[in-house]
Amino acid sequence: MKRTTNLWLFCLLFVALAPAAQAERFSFSGGGGPLLNFTTPDLAFVNDQTARFTPGYDKLENFIPLYGGFGYGEVARNFKLGGFGFGGALISSGTFPHPSQAGVRIRQDVAVSLGGGGLYTEYEAVHWADRFEGALGLGIGFGGVDVRIDQINAIARWDDLWGSLNPDSLADRNTFAIEMSRGFFMLHPEIGVKYFITSFMALEIRGGYMLMVNLGEWQYQDLKVLDGPDNDMSAPTFGLRLVFGG
């Protein structure tokens, strides 16, 4: 909460100082391009569970790369409106001995995926010289987090995989996949500094905070997962955007 409060205070100061820094400059009335963000959510709800069952499991780092894109157009002086989308994942693996086959190990892969998108608005607040621009942005939308667990027998036979459908094989099932998901509503305020490389291309550094409000329970297929963790993946973000416009 303190980090979020500090971000908003900085945003207000940013806007208050804007009139003093206006100058003739490069600017886009519309544009878009690719984006690369990094976020650092708390993944203990996954790491703690996986470490219980997979000796040697490498914990997922709390550092998720998010790839995506955005686009916007000017709707009023210094105000732009458009959309954005992103997605990214982390994966880690561990192994343990097969319970009945000597020398054979079972591998477990655990992946956490994060994705979303929605409406994006931006205010061009500050300009320095003719090639630098500071802006405040806000993304509003929806997304989801997926947790996937793959357990793989090092020796995978066609008949064995189909045979795992037999209820009698439940006690000795070594190869399977489980995927759980949860949706969220998202608010993503950002501060960006843009450098115009040319009159139609700019590089932008951005920092912000992704606030996620959970919408419902964890789901497996169309089934509600009982006693799921009430985790909060809200976290700071930072990254780059390459902007093309005119």
pLDDT score recorded for residue 72: 95
Mean pLDDT of 170-181: 78
CA distance readout (Å), 23 to 28, 54, 131, 141, 246:
15, 59, 10, 33, 18
Q: Quote the CA–CA distance of 54 and 33 in Å, as a whole number.
A: 41
Residue count of the chain: 246
> What local confidence, expressed as pLDDT, does residue 189 receive?
97
Q: Are strands 219-220 and 223-224 parallel, antiparallel or unpaired?
A: antiparallel
Mean pLDDT across 195-205:
94
pLDDT of residue 101: 73
Domain that residue 181 falls in:
2-245
Mean of the per-residue pLDDT values of the chain: 83
Residues in Cβ contact with 153 at an 8 Å cutoff, skipping those fewer than 6 apart: 98, 104, 106, 160, 174, 175
Among 209, 212, 173, 178, residue whose Cα is nearest residue 109: 178
Distance CA 87, CA 191 (A): 20
The answer to whether 184 and 214 are in contact (CB under 8 A) is yes
Q: What is the DSSP letter of 227?
A: T
| Domain total of the chain | 1
Residue closest to 234 by CA, chosen among 118, 114, 138, 148 = 114
- The larger pLDDT score, comparing residue 2 to residue 178, is at 178
- Which of 166 and 40 is assigned the larger pLDDT? 40
pLDDT for 218 equals 92
Pairwise pLDDT comparison (151 vs 166), residue with the higher score: 151
pLDDT category at 17 given cuts 50, 70, 90 is very low
Average pLDDT over residues 141-145: 96
CATH number at residue 11: 2.40.160.20
Q: What is the pairing mode between strands 79-97 and 64-76?
A: antiparallel
* 109-132 per-position pLDDT tens digit: 899 999 999 999 999 988 888 899
Condensed to tens digits (0 to 9), the pLDDT of residues 65-113 reads 999 999 999 999 889 999 999 999 999 887 777 777 777 778 888 999 9
Single-letter residue type at 228: G
pLDDT band of 14, cuts 50, 70, 90: very low
pLDDT for 150: 87
Enter the pTM of the model.
0.79
